[in-house]
Amino acid sequence: MSTTIESPRAIDVCWDGVDLPSLAQKLGTPCHVYSASSIRQRIGALQTALRGLDALVCYAAKANSNVAILQLMAQAGFGADIVSAGEMRRSLRAGIPAQRIVFSGVGKSADEIVEALAVGVARFNVESEDELHLLQRLAAERGVIARAAVRVNPDVDALTHAKISTGKSENKFGVGIDEARRWFAASAQLTHVRLDGLHVHIGSQMLDLDPIRIALQRVADFWRELIGAGHAINSIDVGGGLGVCYRADRDRPIAIEDYVAAIRHALTGFDGRILLEPGRWLVAEAGALLTRVIRVKQGRQRCFLVTDAAMTELLRPSLYDAWHEIVPVTREPRPAQTYDIVGPVCETGDAFAVDRELPRCEAGDLLMIRTTGAYGASMASNYNSRPLAAEVLLDRGRYAVVRRRQTFEDMLAGEQSVQEWENA
Ligand code: LLP
């Protein structure tokens, strides 16, 4: 006997005051939607939790680097954590001042460092000795002083997916405390780098506070040791990594108050500036991907729902086997059925869900893939020559297209047939 699923909840049909079926009708699918109200709520909750601390939130732009999203961060007085010149330019364009931008990443190129020095970013989170020396040389050549923090790799298991774990010694990120200690000991030779900060980021989608506490403790111990050795530490950047709820029945995110309490506790007595780099926590749950069922295909063993969204719009299930809730955007009760929900891309891994029970669907039905506000559109690609999807900001009954759907001409811009061969 089949069960009937009364799904989805009304919120899925109307979100942030906007009726999703008519929006999808108007703008087409696939289409990313973001609720500005939800993002503002998260911003407000974080600001409340941080009250009384000298803290600057540098939103990790990689989570969702749409300029309109960055503008919401700018309006809140937040800065940005960037990992490329592209993210820096986006952040500046959104109105985030350079003095609130921190530059992280293991592979900053000389050109990127030069550009960041020219605009005057607040801080470089330096991840290798080679980078430190390059920064010193480039700053000296320009006669400027670069502010820098060492990204410490505290060798802590973040207890998250291996592909988004960054704080173990075998990971490419940061340097061990022994090496960082040597940098400070030799820092008098850095005539154009002021090494006066510590940075740590051990992983993403963390649902357990213990690894965070351990990492903070190691950094705090190191800060006290450095102070004891006569070094000035003016900023401690605690990174990002706060997890969100993808599966209501399993994921128990860390309460923001508990997270900030752990920071307060570990850094008691620190009188410099605390930087935070949350990405996902601010935007993930505020986003959804709207997609239409192209067809229902009954295979020999499984029933496939083929959607017009693919791994090109949301890579997380293909890359990390990530679980995203999927609901039809309708209020009609329908009998349940089990599907594999797949995209049109020519890869077996192009699947959003396997063996997922949904209310029965038919071609043309609108689905909502939830919790896609972070690492959705920002990880998109043109694979299979699929145009980038539209992105839409919803705000209390209004909406604005914040990225129009890419056209075929947009996609080919820059590509050309051979005009003339150059002799190599
Ligand atoms: N700071 C640094 C130095 C980072 O590398 C990251 C994320 C963040 C901050 C922000 O972390 P969040 O608060 O968003 O967890 N594509 C993966 C996530 C990769 C995260 C990379 N670094 C995913 O879809 O799960």
- Give the residue from 357, 354, 330, 329 showing the smallest Cα distance to 343: 354
Distance 204 CA to ligand 1 centre (A): 5
pLDDT score, position 4: 53
Separation CA 136–CA 117 (nearest Å): 11
197 CB-near residues (< 8 Å, 6+ apart): 123, 125, 147, 148, 149, 150, 233, 234, 235, 236, 237, 272
- Going by pLDDT thresholds of 50, 70 and 90, the confidence category of residue 2 is very low
Strand, helix or coil for residue 249? coil
Look at residue 11 and tell me whether its pLDDT is greater than 60. Answer: no
Distance 63 CA to ligand 1 centre (A): 7
Task: For the full predicted model, state whether its pTM sits above 0.85.
Answer: yes
Give per-residue pLDDT as tens, 27-86: 999 999 999 999 999 999 999 999 999 999 999 999 999 999 999 999 999 999 999 999
The token duo for 420 is 């003339």
Q: Measuring from atom 24 of ligand 1, which residue has the nearest CA?
A: 375
pLDDT score, position 163: 82
Could you say which of 58, 303, 346, 361 is catalytic? 346
Half-sphere exposure of 164 (CA within 13 A, CB side): 20
Strand, helix or coil for residue 168? coil
Task: Please give the average per-residue pLDDT across 327-350, as a whole number.
Answer: 94
Distance 339 CA to ligand 1 centre (A): 31
346 is catalytic: yes
If you search the block for the tokens 């530490």, which residue do you land on?
233
Nearest atom in ligand 1 to the alpha carbon of residue 278 is 13
Supply the DSSP string of 296-362, one letter for each residue: EEE-SS-EEEEES--TTT--HHHHH-----EEES----EEEEEEEEE-SSS-TT-EEEEEEEEE---
- Going by pLDDT thresholds of 50, 70 and 90, the confidence category of residue 157 is confident
- Percent of the chain's residues with pLDDT above 90: 91
Task: Please give the average per-residue pLDDT across 284-303, as a whole number.
Answer: 97
Look at residue 196 and tell me whether its pLDDT is greater than 80. Answer: yes
pLDDT score, position 167: 81
Look at residue 6 and tell me whether its pLDDT is greater than 50. Answer: no
- Going by pLDDT thresholds of 50, 70 and 90, the confidence category of residue 393 is very high
CB 219 within 8 Å of CB 174 = no
* Ligand 1, pocket-test mutation among 123, 204, 371, most atoms within 8 A of CB: 204
Task: Please give the average per-residue pLDDT across 372-399, as a whole number.
Answer: 98
Q: Determine whether the shortest distance from the Cβ of 334 to ligand 1 is under 6 A.
A: no
- Give the residue from 246, 142, 154 showing the smallest Cα distance to 200: 154
DSSP-based helix, strand, coil % in the chain, nearest 5:
35, 25, 40
Q: Which helix (H) or strand (E) holds 154?
A: none
Domains defined along the chain, listed by start: 4-34+285-406 (2.40.37.10), 105-276 (3.20.20.10)
Distance 62 CA to ligand 1 centre (A): 7
Q: Determine whether the shortest distance from the Cβ of 190 to ligand 1 is under 6 A.
A: no
Distance 134 CA to ligand 1 centre (A): 25
Task: Please give the average per-residue pLDDT across 369-382, as a whole number.
Answer: 98
Q: Determine whether the shortest distance from the Cβ of 375 to ligand 1 is under 6 A.
A: yes
Q: Determine whether the shortest distance from the Cβ of 239 to ligand 1 is under 6 A.
A: yes
